[in-house]
Every structure is written in structure tokens, then in C-alpha cells.
Amino acid sequence: MTTRIAVTGATGRMGREVIEAAGEDDRFEVAVAVSRSPGGAIAGVEVRDAADLPALLADHDPDALVDFTGPESSVERVAACAEAGVPAVVGTTGFTEEQLAALSEAAADVPVLRASNFSRGIAALRRAVREAVVALPGYDVEVTETHHDGKRDAPSGTALTILDDIEAERDDLEERTYGREGDAPRSPGEVGVHARRAGDVAGEHEVLLAGEDNVLELTHRAGSRRVFAAGALDAAAWLAGREPGRYDFTEVLE
Ligand SMILES: NC(=O)C1=CN([C@@H]2O[C@H](COP(=O)(O)OP(=O)(O)OC[C@H]3O[C@@H](n4cnc5c(N)ncnc54)[C@H](O)[C@@H]3O)[C@@H](O)[C@H]2O)C=CC1
Ligand SMILES: O=C(O)C1=N[C@H](C(=O)O)C[C@H](O)C1
């Protein structure tokens, strides 16, 4: 069966990648692609004006929309999905609590699956980290992420998800310390958080656990953006036709 998708942010790094990945996979067809900078084509798909999204969704009736844009835009695009009855896969990161509430509101009308990371490797890293923090109680924990120089939000959405996972397992960790400078010795309840921006790194996340004479480092490196695009497409195929509500990428992987 073919899943017909709509793609937003089509001219962005991830939008482009999703269109190209869908074009190389018989299971998908790009029904419509939009950008706020329309014109031209990507992998043979015409890029339409994002301002026309509501009408385009009504005309093309895709099985799901895939959104990798920015928080404000993402909220608007998902609201358009709610209006048109189109399931939404959201990969955008950097949302405020208010914006997350708006996405939840849309999920009353259509299925919405949001994930800070669509790589299967990160799903495995999250499981390993949860197990490690339980197995190593009292260990110091530091989270470091590295991304390309164009990334806007810091720390990354994935780092924030990993921090939530760690804090859910270790209630002695109650303070996130973002970088360190000057006279800044470690205090027991802190988790260090570090964001690096350099070159064209697709995405790296490292969790360091250290105790007396024992150091464990768990690292995931995305070799390219294709891993995120592939995961988002899997999520779109899985989400199409589901009941309204909020869904998680881990459900796609079960
Ligand atoms: N969940 C995941 O697996 C992944 C998530 N991301 C997230 O996806 C998002 C996009 O990343 P990239 O493609 O690298 O960014 P990008 O900057 O290359 O592309 C963003 C696209 O969204 C559009 N856009 C942004 N704000 C907009 C607005 N207010 N109105 C209309 N259009 C708007 C831009 O025109 C552009 O086409 C980021 O939040 C990033 O963190 C990126 C990679 C993987
Ligand atoms: O902006 C990116 O590039 C990425 N963003 C996501 C995040 O913020 O976690 C996922 C991935 O690491 C790439």
C-alpha cells in the first residue's frame, strides 16, 4: 500500500531529505510539498506556497503530513492538519510548553506523533541510558550533544528527552547545569548539559556516567539525516488511519 504524504519545510535540510527518501521508496508518494520559499522542484516534486497549505490539504487529501520546520510554524501546520483531518508526524524541536499544549489540542481531532529524534539508534540509546543510570546509582551524569552550525535550538530536543529519561530513573538528580565557567565545582544533584555546534554534524548524543574508578560512555552518531527521514516516513505509514490522539515513536518500533 502506498502512503501519500504532505511535506512542510520542503526547502529545509530535513524537508528536502524526507522528499528525497520518499522518492526512493515505493511505499511512499509525496502528494504535496510546501515551503515559505516556494518555487522549483525537489526530486521532481513541485514546492508550493506554505500559505496555501489548508487548501492544498483539502485538494490532495494526503494520508499524513510530515513536519520538520520551526516551533511556531509547526503549531500552525498541525492546526491545519486538525482542520483538514490529516494525521501529523512532527519532528520539529524547541517547543515551549504553550506550543506543546497547542499540539495536544490538535490531537483531539487528528492523530499526532511527535518525536525529538526519529533514529532507531537513539531509541536504543535511550533504553541503554535508562538501564545504566539504574545500574549505577549515585554516579555523576553529563549529557553532551553536537550538531551542525545551522541548528537553532539548544540543547537539542533529543538531549532534553534523554534528560527527562534520566531524571525519571534518578530522583536525586534535580538540577540541570548548562555548561560551566569560572569557579564551578560539581554539586551532587546536578546533571551537566553541553551543546556543541560545528560544521555539518548530523547529530551526536553522548551520556557520560562516572563514579569512583568507573566510567561509562554511551554515544550515538547519526551518519546522515537520512536516518531521521526514514524513521519519520515509517511513522507516517504507521500513523495513517489511526484514531485521534497523541502517539510516540516507540510505538512505531514495537
Ligand atoms: N526529530 C528528528 O529526528 C529531527 C528533528 N529535527 C528538527 O527539525 C527542525 C528542522 O530542522 P532543519 O530541517 O535542519 O531546519 P532548516 O532550517 O534547514 O529547515 C526548516 C524549514 O522550515 C521552514 N520554517 C522554519 N520556520 C518557519 C516559519 N516560522 N514559518 C514557515 N516556515 C518555517 C524553513 O523555511 C525551512 O524550510 C528543527 O527543529 C530540528 O531540530 C531535525 C532533524 C531530525
Ligand atoms: O536539528 C537537527 O539537526 C537535529 N535535531 C534533533 C534534536 O534537536 O534533537 C534531532 C537530531 O539530533 C538532529
For residue 12, report the distance from its CA to the centre of ligand 1, in Å: 6
Atom of ligand 2 nearest to the CA of 156: 8
146 lines ligand 2 (CB under 6 A): no
Q: Which of 114, 117, 118 to mutate to test the pocket of ligand 2 (most atoms within 8 A of CB)?
A: 117
Write out pLDDT tens, residues 53-73.
999 999 999 999 999 999 999
Q: Which fold has domain 120-221?
A: Dihydrodipicolinate Reductase; domain 2 (3.30.360)
Q: Which atom of ligand 2 is nearest the CA belonging to 122? A: 12
In tens digits, the chain (254 residues) has pLDDT values of: 899 999 999 999 999 999 999 999 999 999 999 999 999 999 999 999 999 999 999 999 999 999 999 999 999 999 999 999 999 999 999 999 999 999 999 999 999 999 999 999 999 999 999 999 999 999 999 999 999 999 999 999 999 999 999 999 999 998 999 999 999 999 989 999 999 999 999 999 999 999 999 999 999 999 999 999 999 999 999 999 999 999 999 999 99
Query: In this predicted structure, what is the pLDDT of residue 44?
Result: 97
pLDDT for residue 174:
84
Ordered DSSP codes for 112-136:
EEE-S---HHHHHHHHHHHHHHHHS
State ipTM. Answer: 0.99
Q: What is the pLDDT of residue 251?
A: 97
Pocket flag, ligand 2, residue 147 (CB < 6 Å): yes
The cell numbers describing 91, all together, are: 519532528
Q: Whose CA is nearest to atom 11 of ligand 2?
A: 203
**Residue 126 phi, psi (nearest 5):** -60, -40
Beta bridge partners of 146: 196, 204
Catalytic site residue 151?
Answer: yes
The single residue of 147, 194, 205, 220 carrying the catalytic annotation is 147
Any ligand 1 atom below 6 A from CB of 228: yes
DSSP string covering 155-176, please? S-HHHHHHHHHHHHH-TT--EE
Query: What nine digits make up the cell of 16?
Result: 528536502
Helices (H), the chain: 13-23, 53-60, 71-84, 97-106, 120-135, 157-169, 226-239, 249-253
Fold match flag (3-118+225-253 vs 120-221): no
Can you give the pLDDT at residue 1?
87
Q: Which residues pair with 142 in a beta bridge?
A: 192, 208
Cα 232–234–236 angle (5° rounding)?
70
Q: Which three cell numbers stand for residue 145?
A: 550533544
Ligand 2 center from residue 81 Cα (angstroms): 23
Find the helix or strand (DSSP H, E) in which 95 lies: none
* Segments making up each domain of the chain, as ranges: 3-118+225-253, 120-221
Q: Domain 3-118+225-253 is classified in which CATH homologous superfamily?
A: NAD(P)-binding Rossmann-like Domain (3.40.50.720)
Report how far residue 72's alpha carbon sits from residue 224's, in angstroms, rounded to the nearest whole number.
Answer: 26
Q: What is the DSSP letter of 2?
A: P
- Tell me the β-bridge partners of 76: none
List the residue whose alpha carbon is closest to atom 17 of ligand 1. Answer: 12
